[in-house]
Amino acid sequence: MSMQGCRIRVRGQVQGVGFRPFVWTLARRIGIRGRVLNDAEGVLIEAAGAGLDSFAAALRDEAPPLARVDSVEVAAAEFEDLPEGFEIVASAAGAARTRVTPDAATCAACLAEIMGDGRRAGYAFTNCTHCGPRFSILRALPYDRAQTSMAGFAMCTDCATEYADPADRRFHAQPIACPACGPRLWLERAGIEQPGDGIALAAEALRGGQIVAVMGLGGVHLACDAQNDAAVTLLRNRKRRPMKPFALMGDMDMICTACAVSPKEAARLSDPAAPILLLAQKGVSVAPSVAPGQTNLGWMLPYTPLHHLLLARFGGPLVMTSGNLSGEPQVTTLAEAREKLAGFADAFLLHDRPIARRLDDSVERITPYGPMVLRHARGRAPGTTRLPPGFEDAPEMLAMGGQMKGALCLTRGGEALLSHHLGDLDDALTWDEYRRAMADYAALFDHSPAGVAVDLHQGFRATQAGQALGLPVVEVQHHHAHLAACIGEHGWPKDGGAVAGIVLDGLGLGPDGTIWGGEVLLGDYHGFDRIAWLAPAPLAGGDLAQAQPWRNALVRLDMAGLGGLADRVFPDAPRAALRQAVAAQVNAPLSSSAGRLFDAVAALLGLCPMRQTHEAEAAMALEAQAQAYGVASPYVLPAASGAIPTDALFRAIAADLETGQPTTRIAARFHATIAEMFCSQARALVDTGQAAAVALTGGCFQNEVLLSACMARLDGYRVLHYQTLPANDGSLAFGQALVALAQGLPK
């Protein structure tokens, strides 16, 4: 006998988050009969009963904490075989159309267990449906244990009972484990496992000033005592990382002792993504060598049981930085750790749960204007963004991103999926990782793109890889992609009209053959016009101009007629040879890069003048100086259109230096001047009706001082700036995809 009911399709982040037991509990409460299962499109429910309307509404309104429900689609249906009660049935296979849940930090219930005296007391791999590894252990969809790196761990009777009980919070928690059946943890030295409690031995080593390699969720960290300057310096020397700030791990009390933490920042730290969050220092509570010259520290809470146990046993804050050779990807396997980190670590805290996918820690900050994502990685990836209105029926597209901050973007079914941070593709091992990620994402999400979007620069490895796929190719100018990514995050409609985009970053090839990086564009997804730009200056020495800030300062000072000042500030630099090469136009391509302008001013002020030891070192030092001063008035410069000269700016800075003005004030005035330079151009476009809003995009907008200065000058205007995606090249692929979809594939 047939029965009338409905078939309910729930789409979104609904697998691996306890959605099926939630549906089971909800159905029992309302009196619904039927079944629920996972399949490749999400969650499918077949149901009948008197309370179907309230049942369907509660699927969205009462969803589990890690769930993200995009849609609940209800269709009338007739059934011949509905069960008397309500059942959870096995997952169905098929093309992967559902979302993958990012890894989630340990929940309060699991933390209480590991700190308690039950059977999971002190167990470093405790998890449930509300927390634990997801993407880092996933090998294929649907998300079931056999498709993860937990497949090799057979459940004991107790775990199997919990796994099978819909009323238990571990029902179908795929990484479920306990000391009797799950992964194990140990400490080893020189490849030899040491007897005893691995956590206790690691804490003892850390207290002794040693470096410990800690195998975590998406890779291996190098840890040391954050309050021991000798230990931090030892780590710097071993890793050959003289200046770049180290990330820190601590509990909330430790973090609040070191930094000023607002309620919004505390909430962000406690988010299931557990990102590294940049926080303002308020005193000296960690070693000065953790973040030399910086006013901010990067903190994260412990996000796995292993981290909680180690931190509690150690009793103080820890440096927790990526375990890798300089420039290479973070190591993820036991063999890699032993081979590549032997020269860095005195001891290794290891486990035998394989890491299926390398994931760096996400890095974020909270500004007065909302959150800012600096690195999109563990806990956030693979993130999905709804395509803006007008793109609903767009074909599947693959976008390759740029050379720096490598990341891929896949579009399908009205959504864009942005990959995790893959790194800078100049490094051979990172390039190998990028190519593996291409295959990984294509297989994991059963993606069959109709075309591929690439950067205009033919020398980029990502561009070359996209062109080699044999698909129709759309070449997208670098800064156009930045503009599209920013407005796309905000859901700007496909035919929403033009926006004034202030695009400030390092380097991107322009269609005129010069290197862009400081532009005001008027455009949308379909195209753009270049309205204003920094007057180009030679990149003296080509790539060396990125590594040696003094080169940019000398060129800009010479352009301003201040060659004598350059001679005094950089007496030991090879100035004559550089000037000769510039005059002969040898290895000195023209560039309007805002990033190189920041480098030039930093060098002039004596901040990292000769060589950067890490990307953006000079700009970060300049920002720190400006933060130490506070809000300042800009230098008064002549009005300009088209190419914006910098001569008057450098003459004004030189005058301040001559009168002994503090570096902090000059840095603050420089930031304010850059903001006024570009915001005045953008305001004019809005005021004349040519643009409907202003977009702030490009890696320079990771600078909070610059962002705040621009927002102050755009008060009263509609401003679009990043809050969920990185302003840097980490979101470039998303913008490329939107431009390619708007322009259409070549015939």
Catalytic residue list: 20, 38
Query: Three-state SS across 118-177?
Result: CCCCCCCCCCECCEECCCCCECCCCCCHHHECCCCCCCCHHHHHHHHCCCCCCCCCCCCC
Residue 201 region, left (φ>0) first, then alpha (ψ -120 to 50), else beta? alpha
Partners of residue 225 on adjacent β-strands: 318
Report which of 473, 477, 485 is spatially closest to residue 730, judged by C-alpha positions: 485
Q: Radius of gyration (Cα) for the chain, nearest Å?
A: 27
Distances (CA, A) of 341 to 50, 223, 325, 432, 532: 62, 12, 8, 19, 48
Close Cβ partners of 508 (under 8 Å, ≥ 6 residues apart): 402, 455, 456, 457, 477, 478, 479, 482, 515, 516, 517
Q: For residues 263 and 373, what is the distance between their CA atoms, to the nearest angstrom?
A: 18
365 vs 278: CA distance, rounded Å: 5
The residues that bridge with 406 in the sheet, in sequence order, are 423
Peptide bond before residue 142 is cis, with ω within 30 degrees of 0:
yes
Burial of 352 (0-12, 13-18, 19+ CB in 10 A): middle
What's the N-to-C CA distance of the chain in angstroms? 54
Tell me, rounded to whole angstroms, the distance of Cα 320 from its chain centroid.
17
Q: Can you state the angle between helices 575-583 and 549-559, rounded to 10 degrees?
A: 60
d(Cα 219, Cα 133) in Å, to the nearest integer? Answer: 12
